[in-house]
Amino acid sequence: MCDTICVPLRLTVIQTTGGEKDWINYSEITSMEDETGTPREDVDSTPGSDGPDERDVEPGDDADDDTTSIDEGGEEDDHDPAGIEVYDLAQRKTTVATGPFRYGDIVKFTYEVFNQGSIQASGIDITDYIPCGMRYVSASNNALGWTYIMPLPAMPQ
């Protein structure tokens, strides 16, 4: 018969805690029937299976959009992924130091960068805007890859 039907689905992108597969939408044919309403079997896939092998197929993989497969594993032709690209980095800055502090005390901060999107990130730079009550400690920071750049004075208005 070679019939085709297209059915639109609209979804809203939401923030997640991250992970490449958080934005891959999988769909699967779960059942079918003939023109008389009699349920039918699919000769080259298992409708409604949604197994781990099927979920391993990602958009752009060789098994993606394979409508001719007769494999009843990861390449089932009744199961297909589609996804979007999301670039989303998040940062957490913390210190375990507890006060009260005295002038001259050194306070260590730790920075964590989280990739919450579906696109791999690299070459990430962090800029820390040091407040007037603190001073950059060259001896302990330069070895860690930090570079101090003297801020420009504020322009009079």
Express each pLDDT in 19-31 by its tens digit.
778 889 988 888 8
Same domain for 75 and 105, yes or no, is: no
Cα 78 from Cα 7, distance rounded (Å): 15
Residue 74 confidence (pLDDT): 61
**Last residue of a domain, which of 42, 58, 84?**
84
Is the model more confident about 118 or about 45? 118
**Is residue 77 situated within a structural domain?**
yes
**Is residue 147 situated within a structural domain?**
yes
Mapped onto helix, strand or coil, the DSSP state of residue 152 is: coil
Same domain for 75 and 97, yes or no, is: no
**Last residue of a domain, which of 51, 84, 117?**
84
Residue 93 confidence (pLDDT): 97
Q: pTM value?
A: 0.62
Q: Could you tell me the end-to-end alpha-carbon distance of the chain, in angstroms, rounded to an integer? A: 76
Range of the domain at 75: 9-84
Beta bridge partners of 110: 94
Same domain for 121 and 78, yes or no, is: no
Model pLDDT for residues 56-113, shown as the tens digit of each residue: 888 888 888 877 776 656 667 778 889 898 888 999 999 999 989 999 999 999 999 9
Residue 73 confidence (pLDDT): 60
Same domain for 60 and 97, yes or no, is: no
Helix (H) or strand (E) holding 54: helix 52-55
Same domain for 92 and 135, yes or no, is: yes
**Last residue of a domain, which of 57, 84, 111?**
84
* Interacting residues of 72 by C-beta distance below 8 A, sequence separation 6+: 44, 45, 46, 49
Tell me the one-letter amino acid at 76.
E
What's the burial of 131, exposed, middle or buried (CB within 10 Å: 0-12/13-18/19+)?
exposed
**Is residue 3 situated within a structural domain?**
no
Residue 12 confidence (pLDDT): 93
Instruction: Judge whether residue 43 has pLDDT over 80.
Output: no
- Using an 8 Å Cβ cutoff, are 93 and 114 in contact? no
pLDDT band of 2, cuts 50, 70, 90:
low
What's the burial of 78, exposed, middle or buried (CB within 10 Å: 0-12/13-18/19+)?
buried
